[in-house]
Chain A
Amino acid sequence: MSGVVASVDAQTLVDAVGLGAIFALMAVGIGLVFGVLRLVNFAYGQLVMAGAYTLAFTAGLPLAARLAACLGVVLALTVALERAVFRPLRTASPAVMLVTTFAIAFLLQSIALILDLRDGTIGEAAASVGGLNQAVSVGGVDVRKVTLVAIAVAALALGLLALLLARTTLGLHMRAAAADFQTARLLGVRADRVIASAVLLSGVLAAVVAVILTVRTPLVTPSFALMETIVVLVGVVVGGLDRLWTATLGGFSIGFATGVINGALPTEHTVFLPSAVFALVVVVLLLRPGGLFAPGRSALVERV
């Protein structure tokens, strides 16, 4: 045990916080949409993937143009999804919505495969965005700049979002819609506007995550961000899907824990880690359906 503890050094901790920050951003993106639509967006990772491919395919252009293109493509895709898929399904059961986004995820992934395979190979290099991959030394710890950027961006984005939700009319509407959609509508909250804003915000976050992830792993493949999404979904459920802050905390925690465990334990000790993590999901769903961080029980899970 002492060997394990000793190998968790400052380096590992900083990297783990960086990973946790990225996962927290994705968790917010998933949690925002769930709040207003009761829809678990399985295809969220594919939005990130689309942004990453945009960065890869525009590798020759100036940085600002690439970032703008990335944001544009992800937002266009998000709006298209909202209009074509989420809106017609608004009255469907959560399970039907989940299975539909599962289909959309495969659809987008296969489209990416077709685009990617035009040059005969799988995987496109998204040349590093603005030298963010270089390391700086902070107090003897080598930190990649992107890790610092990830932490800063996550803190900034979460801060802005908290302000938006707490201080603006739109935020008030979104919170009302998340608490009780029908009553909120009766009281004059415009459903389409609130849902569109939540979906759009989740799209912005997906674009931000796409930029950060491509700096960390520059090789973009059709399954880019797929595993990350699954892990974030786990974190969101374990943390508590019902409230945005528990979902975010869940996303951060699972990213941080993954980072620490992978940094501290040799690979042969972590092969069964996914099983343990998914078993935790099942246990939480059965015993604390509101999530680990949520007080009391929640209405998310009906049980027989």
Chain B
Amino acid sequence: MTRRLDPALQLAVPAALVVAVGIAASLASRSNEIHYLRALVSVAIVVAIYVFVGNSGVLSFGQVSFVAVGAFAAGVLTVPTALKASVLPGLFPVLRDNSIGDLTSLALAAAVGGLFAFLVGLPLMRLTGLAAGIATFAILEITHNLLREWTKIGPGATTLSLVPETTGPLRATLGALLVIGVAFAYDRSRWGRMLRATRDDPAVAQAAGIHVHRQRLLAFTLSGALAGLAGGLLVHMLGSITTGQVYLELTFITLAMLVVGGMTSLWGAVLGALAVSGLDSFLAKAEDGVDIGFTLTVPTGTRLVVVGALMALVLIVRPSGLTGGREVRLPRWRRRAEAAA
């Protein structure tokens, strides 16, 4: 009984939580809606990072590159053609003269993110540990540098605006659910299990015939595609974006979410993303003054101090995160009751 129920719970509980946030978003006032949408898009990004980092145990600072690539691909191609020639005159003609629908742009964002991750991962997936951390950080820097300076493929250092704002509560929820669903299916698949085996003991996994490089590359590519999709959702939520928004700070916040929730489980990724988003939104409001019985005002910058301190604290005191790195399970008394029956 338990054996059949646990996997269902592992998908149902995170999904139900995401749906609840989606419903809250659709009921929220116009000014509050953005906080819920942000939380949902964060879930998509963090789960995308989890697919690679959680299952492989290899640290990556680079997954936000794929968010950035997805966001700018989806953004640049959905600015109306009539306006594009005047706001983005430097683009390659093929990008300048064509636009696509916003749903197509999400699919394209996922494809571009996945392709980019595959090409990057091809050499990089040979690296482990510290070297992988530094090399993926280099990828983040290269992506940022190219997006910021190369005006043939994007807006360069200026803001990309006039992107249709089509990521509402429904689409953000569906997007987050899709990412969670894919991550769950991968987790339970043969490949997911093989990759986790290489994480837990590389030598034994290799001896058992698992091709470490191939499994890591697969997860990296999948993670890149999901991150690209999340980037597409992000740009259609914001309507305008700069390269600075998909760079160091986003990398920091999303890694903090994953670490706080628990790096090695899907449940940890979802819970961490929602918990830290909630905290972050509350502090962002408190920086402008928020009414909680009395008016609480904290200095600008407090949210990063709190999130940074929380992340460092979790890493030092409880490296497995809030969830202990485990998936959702039945409460202990239910398991015992069922074992007895």
Residues of A within 8 A of B134 (CB): 40, 98, 233, 237, 281, 285
Pick from B145, B300, B301: contact of A274, CB under 8 Å: B145
Residues of A within 8 A of B132 (CB): 95
Q: On chain A, which size bracket covers the interface?
A: 35 or more
Would you give the shortest CB distance from B185 to chain A, in whole angstroms?
Answer: 25
Q: Could you tell me if A103 and B308 are in contact, using CB atoms closer than 8 angstroms?
A: yes
B residues 269-292 near A (Cβ < 8 Å) are none
Beyond A114-B300, A303-B126, list 18 extra A-B contacts (CB 8 Å): A88-B316, A92-B319, A99-B255, A102-B61, A106-B252, A106-B307, A107-B304, A110-B302, A110-B303, A114-B302, A272-B150, A281-B138, A282-B138, A286-B135, A289-B131, A301-B127, A302-B129, A304-B202
Would you give the shortest CB distance from B259 to chain A, in whole angstroms?
Answer: 7
Chain A at the B interface: SS class: helix
Q: A102-B252, A282-B124, A282-B135 are in contact. Are A110 and B142 (CB under 8 A)?
A: no
Would you call A93 an interface residue if the criterion is a C-beta within 8 Å of the partner chain's C-beta atoms? yes
Pick from B131, B141, B213, B307: contact of A230, CB under 8 Å: B141
Residues of B within 8 A of A302 (CB): 128-129, 131
Q: A304-B126, A304-B128 are in contact. Are A110 and B316 (CB under 8 A)?
A: no
Pick from B149, B255, B301: contact of A117, CB under 8 Å: B301
Contact with B along A87-123 (1 / 0, CB 8 A): 0110011111011101110110111011001100000
Would you give the shortest CB distance from B123 to chain A, in whole angstroms?
Answer: 6
Residues of A within 8 A of B129 (CB): 93-95, 301-302
In Å, the complex CA distance between A68 and B128 comes to 42
Residues of B within 8 A of A281 (CB): 134-135, 138
Q: A95-B133, A272-B145, A279-B138 are in contact. Are A106 and B124 (CB under 8 A)?
A: no
A residues 262-280 near B (Cβ < 8 Å) are 271-272, 274-275, 278-279
In Å, the complex CA distance between A285 and B149 comes to 25
Count of A-B contacts judged by CB separation below 8 Å: 147
Residues of A within 8 A of B83 (CB): none
A sample of 20 inter-chain contacts (CB < 8 A) reads: A40-B133, A88-B316, A93-B129, A94-B133, A95-B130, A95-B132, A98-B134, A100-B316, A103-B259, A106-B307, A107-B308, A275-B141, A278-B141, A278-B142, A279-B142, A281-B134, A289-B131, A302-B131, A303-B127, A304-B125
In Å, the complex CA distance between A230 and B128 comes to 20
The size of the chain B interface, using a CB distance under 8 A, is 51
Would you give the shortest CB distance from A83 to chain B, in whole angstroms?
Answer: 11
Chain B at the A interface: SS class: helix
Q: A114-B302, A117-B301, A272-B145 are in contact. Are A99 and B131 (CB under 8 A)?
A: no
Q: A85-B316, A98-B133, A114-B300 are in contact. Are A275 and B59 (CB under 8 A)?
A: no
Would you call A63 an interface residue if the criterion is a C-beta within 8 Å of the partner chain's C-beta atoms? no
Q: A103-B311, A278-B142 are in contact. Are A117 and B123 (CB under 8 A)?
A: no
Nearest B residue to A279, CB-CB: B142
Nearest B residue to A110, CB-CB: B304
Would you call B139 an interface residue if the criterion is a C-beta within 8 Å of the partner chain's C-beta atoms? yes
